Structure 1
Amino acid sequence: MRQAMRARIAGLWSGVVFGALVSACGPVSEDMALERELEGGPVETVEAALTRHVPLPEPRPTALLGPKVAYGGGKYLVVWQDVRDGGIYGARMKRDGTLLDPEGLRLNTHPERDFGRTPNVAFDGKDFVVVWDSTDGVDGTRLAPNGAGPGPVFTVISSGEVAGDVGIACSRKLCLVTFNVSSDEGSDIGGLRIGPDGSRLDEFVIFISDVTVTGESAVAWNGKEFLVVWTDSHGGVDTPDIYGARVKEDGTLLERGGFPIGAAPGMQQTPAVTWTGRRFLVVWGDMRGGTDWDVFGARVRSDGRVDDPEGIPISTAPGDQRFPGVAHHNSKSLVVWDDTRAGPHRVWGARVEEDGDVRDPGGFAISGGELLNEFRPAVAYGNNQFLVPYGASSVAGEPFSPNFILGRRVKHDTRVLDTPALVFTRSTTTTTK
């Protein structure tokens, strides 16, 4: 059965397949689990939530869950899932905090594949490349830092067996896109390389993992190879681990099935990864303590050797610390995460040195509590500062209720700029799904 599933996926080209939204079935995703925790209600399908959504007073929140962010060409691009037509929106920001697209740019402009979810973004040296789950595959587009575009929507892969979070990282020549491939027997992490015009460079899917749990994957590029990291069930379905594998620019997979990066007792999930100039730094949510989530990390060398097999404790504060993001500049990485040490969800961070030392063992607060819950941060470095966007909501009791995307800039010395926070989602339009 697994081989049959692989054969079906491997033979799929980039042709567009139209289909209805898929309902939430099988294991509850990390996104849905967080939304249930935040809003206090039963999980429902995204389709049902959007169908019953009605316009709110203007200006209004339009995002669903948290953002992703990249920097390039002197601009940041923050992307998110949106309740408006197309489902995928973004906004560019200048270094000084000036928002260039105050109502958001619709990035999924396809006239028929008009819904997308869980976008991700990378910069390829010229343009931003945005990819997302189109509910029956993975689609994408390009946007220039000066706002030219977005370009035509291209299809990375069309398949009803491909869904969930999408990873992306780019070299100067191409981008590697990763995704979850599911079947009745389990799921794998697959990857495909795309060229500068969005064309697919691989005839067959690169199957990177064996069986995974939720299929969350992240990717980073070090100038020679990509490191793909994911949540993997080698440690058991109920106690997954973090695994990784390197993929060369020509598509060669160097470690079939991957190698362990975070394999402690308990659950390890939701990895993120960055290249530091000397090593990869992988971070994840960790429940080795058995009760609360913490944030751990490990450094991985270019040859795949793991410097910290026991993991680096980055935040072990009371409450839950999870859903980390990471970016690097010079000798320090900034790790950010969703934190409940004081009760409500807030965004905290800590700096990690090249040698693995945690500069801020207690962490420092990044979000300011403007709204009831502030959650699921992302982070990118650009022009001597980090940008940390995150989801924020004051609504309780309604699953998938629209939220704002807020953000703050953070300096190397942990100074947090922007009080009050930057607001990326303040739509004055009324178009909804």
Structure 2
Amino acid sequence: MSVRTISPVKELKGEVTIPGDKSISHRSIMLGSIALGTTEITHFLEGADCLSTIGCFRKMGVEIERKPSSILVHGKGLRGLRAPNETLNVGNSGTTTRLISGILSGQSFPTVLSGDASLNSRPMKRIMTPLNSMGANITSLNDNGCAPLCIEPGTLHGIHYQSPVASAQVKSAVLLAGLYADAPTSVTEPALSRNHTELMLQGFGAYVATDLHADGTATAHVEPCEELYGQQICVPGDISSAAYFIAAALLVPGSELLVKNVGTNFTRAGFLKVCKAMGADIETINQSFEGGEGRADLLVRFSQLKGTTVEGDIIPTLIDEIPMIAVMAAFAEGTTVIKDAAELKVKETNRIDTVTAGLKAMGADITPTEDGMIIEGTGHLSGASIQSFLDHRIAMAFSIAGLAADGETEIVDSQCVDVSYPEFFDTLDSIAV
């Protein structure tokens, strides 16, 4: 167990270059592994979750080189993976587990996926149901709808899946399995979730299309594929990681921070919209696009925030940033309502519960609800001992709270930030005045 002590700071100054996007880093390894030829990935996130993905594909015969400034994936082709001689260890990574299940459903050999205790308690029926309806043969070895999962060979058929949730992981699992199906496959979601898989599949040579419907639903289509081809991928900075530093500059008086290389894909940028609705002073500069993914530098200045309502179609675009939004709401003036976010319950922790516990410990006025929370902004928080529950997003959100709180804040099990942002605390120290 590690405990990190966070002390209040006078202000934050300087610039931060955000590490590579976790979602895109995962997908670049996966698609590179099942493509023909070499895929070169720059600005890859060297976090524990993404390293779990590398480990899984290495066990299936893919040569993956970690160079000083890039990752080289020597792909085996769509049908070139080989049977691993042991269980594939997915660590703490739900993304690895759910997405790789789609790929493994199309293989000619059996595999078993298992992770740590936290991962093995997270729900996997949400991907088992559609994949098994395609003809996959996935079983939960403990018969509880969780990993360890056994995936045995099956003949995959194209389906149209009506997903009950807007989840990029569910959608991606089905689309990746669709590459191996005997007919086109489509997924309709109640709202458009992050579209990194669709954009990257197009880059690797698959036929993918998305239809946005008048009622707010969205349907992604993929055609069966003969082969994918290696690409060069420059991963943009992870907006989920950038959110902590954006929030820090907004909350600590006198701060001005340049947050560089932030991914601005519209299916992920809901956090920025909420910041603006709360009165944030954020200037967008140096915008660019590469591989369909937008990126920009953000100049962020201290702002007097006000409460807002976060609901509806914006939720899938900021689900991972809700712990940070909740902290911002506690410092804001007025009431913030977060709803339609029941998906928080199936993250690394039940984040409705863990955010509520942390904010109450710091003196916030917060009421949990079935699908979110209501926060009455008090304008200040008091330092406290915060249990991270080994959830990286809880640890980082409350570290930022500690910068602007009265008194010292302790983050228990702070090492869990290594999942997505190993340099988080070093970066925080570098900009504190």
TM-score by length of 2: 0.30
Report which structure shows greater RCO (CA 8 Å, sep ≥6): 2
Q: Which has the higher strand share?
A: 1
Larger Rg: 2
TM-score by length of 1: 0.30
Q: Which has the higher helix share?
A: 2
